[in-house]
């Protein structure tokens, strides 16, 4: 049976202690740099992903496999989670450090009770692109209230259209039709454009590529295919399970000819491809075969308030302690800036046969 990262690991405890000391020292800095932070590779801080819960009602094989996240799995206690007020406060500090896009993730963010109230609080931050990623299970009932609260867009995970494959992927026997109903409800509520994310794992759902493309062709939604990634330590990742972005594009193009499209903005994760018949576009996220670390502008705030500077990180910086102690927003901003300025992450560019075996934080704590 696989295990998550042991919290009592001595080496990990020493690393965490060192990181915590760095955070506190940076927060107390008397002469903070007034410029917006840029990391060691010249990347600005622009995007913040906030995991609002470590729980999920799916057990997707590439994220929270059932043999690890079973009935007795010790999820975080409510007191360990950041409150909505704490999330809104820290998000405001990040915005003052240059963040212009905030994405709510999980786990499954719609499982967090009254998440609409958090959306409303974050929407008050001003000119920030506020969006959310969901598995769609609860979207039909929440789409309107999320839009009314100030959510602008939504991304829905959908790994196949045929029920047997979809139920096998989510591993809780959840029907695909209810996710499609959620997508329709989001469209009706004005959460647009809607992005559809499909993780492709060889041997499970590569046959779903063309049906997905066919279904969303001309719909106005943006379908994005994601290479199966070695996130965390529990999903059994192997390179042979990866369907490359190049193979995905070739597969779609045989049915609907494609041509490359320019990125919408610097640092965009998905490589864009446009249908030649004006039927819209698809994207491919190729973290494994076409690393895009050089343009990464994303920070991740975990469910319990740790800042991670990479999706594949193995340790985070504890900001919750600063929030719950007598530190001002300016001091917390000093810490965030100092953390970002020392950032040198480029995991996907350095990936080797050995790196997938290293222990990394699980996706359910920091989102995708």
Confidence of residue 341 (pLDDT cuts 50, 70, 90): very high
Nearest to 366 by CA among 306, 319, 302, 310: 302
| 34-58: average pLDDT | 94
Q: What are phi and psi of 95, to 5 degrees?
A: -60, -40
Number of domains in the chain: 1
Maximum Cα–Cα distance across the chain: 61
Give domain status of residue 176, yes or no: yes
| 9-13: average pLDDT | 50
Give domain status of residue 47, yes or no: yes
- Counting every residue, how long is the chain? 368
* Res. 364: pLDDT tops 50: yes
Confidence of residue 100 (pLDDT cuts 50, 70, 90): very high
**CATH code of 91's domain:** 3.20.20.70
Cα–Cα distance for residue pair 289/349, rounded to 1 Å: 9
| 267-291: average pLDDT | 88
Of the listed ranges 5-9, 49-53, 233-237, 312-316, the least confidently predicted one is 5-9
Higher-confidence residue of 95 and 4: namely 95
* Residue span of the structural domain in which 165 resides: 10-366
For residues 103 and 49, is the Cβ–Cβ distance under 8 A?
Answer: yes
Confidence of residue 14 (pLDDT cuts 50, 70, 90): low
Q: Which H or E run includes 48? A: strand 47-51
Query: How, if at all, do strands 153-157 and 222-227 pair?
Result: unpaired
List, for residues 239-263, the tens digit of each pLDDT value: 788 999 999 999 999 999 999 998 8
Percent of the chain clearing pLDDT 90 (strictly above): 68
Two tokens, residue 96: 């003052």
pLDDT at 41: 94
Give domain status of residue 183, yes or no: yes
* Res. 60: pLDDT tops 50: yes
Residue 250's CB is within 10 A of a number of other CB atoms, namely 11
Q: Which of 16-25, 91-100, 282-291 has the highest mean pLDDT?
A: 91-100
List, for residues 159-206, the tens digit of each pLDDT value: 999 999 999 999 999 999 999 999 999 999 999 999 999 999 999 999
Give domain status of residue 1, yes or no: no
Give domain status of residue 2, yes or no: no
Specify the DSSP class assigned to residue 224: E
pLDDT at 7: 40
* Res. 358: pLDDT tops 90: no
Name residues whose C-beta falls within 8 Å of residue 215's C-beta, 6 or more positions apart in sequence.
161
* Res. 11: pLDDT tops 60: no
Checking 84-87 for CB contacts under 8 A at 24+ apart, the result is 84/114, 84/117, 84/118, 84/121, 85/121, 86/305, 86/320, 86/323, 86/324, 87/50, 87/52, 87/118, 87/121, 87/122, 87/301
CB-count burial class (<10 Å; 0-12, 13-18, 19+) for 32: middle
Cα–Cα distance for residue pair 103/133, rounded to 1 Å: 7
Give domain status of residue 244, yes or no: yes
């Amino acid at each position: 049976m696989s295990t998550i990262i042991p919290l009592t690991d001595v080496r990990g405890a020493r690393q965490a202690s060192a990181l915590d000391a760095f955070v506190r020292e940076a927060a107390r800095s008397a002469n903070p740099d007034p410029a917006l932070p840029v990391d060691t590779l010249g990347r600005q801080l622009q995007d913040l992903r906030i995991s609002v819960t470590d729980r999920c009602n799916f057990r997707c094989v590439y994220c929270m496999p059932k043999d690890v996240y079973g009935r007795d799995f010790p999820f975080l206690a409510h007191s360990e989670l950041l409150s909505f007020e704490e999330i809104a406060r820290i998000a405001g500090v990040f915005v003052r450090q240059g963040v212009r896009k905030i994405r709510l993730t999980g786990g499954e963010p719609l499982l967090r009770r009254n998440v609409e109230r958090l959306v409303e609080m974050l929407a008050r931050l001003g000119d920030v692109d506020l969006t959310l990623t969901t598995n769609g299970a609860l979207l039909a009932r929440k789409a309107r209230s999320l839009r009314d609260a100030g959510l602008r867009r939504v991304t829905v995970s959908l790994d196949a259209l045929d029920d047997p494959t979809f139920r096998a992927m989510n591993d809780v026997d959840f029907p695909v039709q209810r996710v499609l109903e959620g997508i329709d409800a989001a469209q009706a509520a004005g959460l647009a454009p809607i992005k559809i994310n499909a993780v492709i794992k060889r041997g499970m759902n590569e046959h779903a590529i063309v049906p997905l493309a066919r279904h969303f062709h001309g719909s106005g939604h943006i379908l994005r295919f994601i290479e199966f990634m070695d996130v965390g330590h529990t999903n059994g990742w192997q390179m042979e399970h990866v369907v490359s972005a190049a193979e995905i594009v070739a597969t779609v193009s045989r049915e609907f000819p494609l041509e490359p499209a320019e990125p919408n903005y610097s640092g965009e994760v998905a490589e864009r491809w446009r249908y030649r018949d004006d039927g819209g576009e698809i994207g491919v996220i190729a973290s494994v075969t076409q690393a895009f670390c050089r343009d990464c502008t994303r920070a991740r705030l975990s469910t319990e308030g740790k800042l991670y500077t990479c999706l594949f990180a193995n340790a985070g910086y504890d900001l919750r302690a600063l929030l719950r102690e007598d530190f001002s927003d300016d001091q917390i901003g000093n810490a965030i800036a100092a953390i970002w300025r020392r950032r040198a992450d480029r995991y996907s560019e350095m990936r080797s046969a050995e790196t997938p075996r290293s222990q990394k934080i699980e996706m359910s704590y920091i989102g995708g």
